[in-house]
Amino acid sequence: MSLLTIDNISVNYGRLTALRNASLTLAKGETFFVTGPNGAGKSTLLKAIAGVVAPKSGTIHFANTDIGGRTPEDIARLGFSMVPEGRHVFGSLTIEENLRLGVGMRDDKDAAERELETIYSVFPMLKDRRYQTAGVLSGGQQQMLVIGRALMANPQLIAIDEPSLGLAPKVIDDVYAVLLKLRDTRGLTLLIVEQSSTRATMTGGRMILLRGGEIVLEGDARELTKGDALKAAYFGYGEHH
């Protein structure tokens, strides 16, 4: 039974079609990458799932519920956590307050407290600074914060838009190490947008390539990078539009 099913959605911004006829399915526990050049529609895809933009056509099912047209807070409450591009920490709130925001959806308050401790154990540097305002953190630390914050709700699926953006390679390694550990220990389903397919290859999992708002390639990450299909799709060799 798939966790997320996207069926033929299209998204418009005014007269601009950002995403066209996109379909994909995600099973629980999978690791799934969305790659492609700038402006291909990757962020739009994630925003459509999150409920921030409404698809003009097509349906999206998450956890057996049709989430098309639902509000972001409703979708979040179904077990979907989104980490948008740009590390949007709440700079005027403390680290602990940032984390606690993700908790409001949990009914069991004790479980929420335990969750906080778990997150602190996964991200010890956050615990050191728990009462400082989030605005003073470095890029990498902010990335850890927003991921930790997204996890506080104990989601089934976490979608991260460009976790590597603006981070040093060593830091990106750390971030991915954490993500994969969580995947293995909690059965977390990962949906990750990355501009470069390198991480996809390193991490393994399925992958789609978006270009010009359409899915032009789909398959296993490692398989795809072996052949020329990926390069061709990325750069549009042999196509004249």
Nearer to other proteins, 69 or 104 (CB): 104
Nearer to other proteins, 97 or 214 (CB): 97
Residue in the structure block whose two tokens are 């097509």: 58
Tell me which long-range contacts 10-17 makes (C-beta under 8 A, separation of at least 24). 10/55, 10/56, 10/57, 10/58, 11/41, 11/44, 11/45, 11/47, 11/48, 11/53, 11/54, 11/55, 11/56, 12/56, 13/44, 13/53, 17/213
Nearer to other proteins, 153 or 167 (CB): 153
The end-to-end CA distance of the chain, in Å, is 39
Nearer to other proteins, 41 or 84 (CB): 84
| Least gap, CB of 12 to other proteins (angstroms) | 15
Task: Measure the CA–CA gap between 30 and 127, rounded to whole angstroms.
Answer: 29
Nearer to other proteins, 20 or 70 (CB): 70
| Least gap, CB of 84 to other proteins (angstroms) | 5
How many other C-beta atoms can be found within 10 angstroms of the C-beta atom of residue 26?
Answer: 21
Complete DSSP assignment for 91-159? TTSBHHHHHHHTTTT-S-HHHHHHHHHHHHHHSHHHHHTTTSBGGG--HHHHHHHHHHHHHTT--SEEE
| Least gap, CB of 49 to other proteins (angstroms) | 11
Task: Calculate ∠ Cα 20-35-119, nearest 5°.
Answer: 115
| Least gap, CB of 133 to other proteins (angstroms) | 9
| Least gap, CB of 55 to other proteins (angstroms) | 17
Nearer to other proteins, 51 or 140 (CB): 51
**Shortest CA distance to 90 belongs to which of 103, 79, 80, 101?**
101
The binding site for other proteins (CB under 8 A) comprises: 50, 52, 71-73, 76-77, 81-82, 84, 86, 88, 90-93, 97, 100-102, 104-105, 135, 149-150, 153
Nearer to other proteins, 1 or 16 (CB): 16
| Least gap, CB of 166 to other proteins (angstroms) | 14
| Least gap, CB of 99 to other proteins (angstroms) | 10
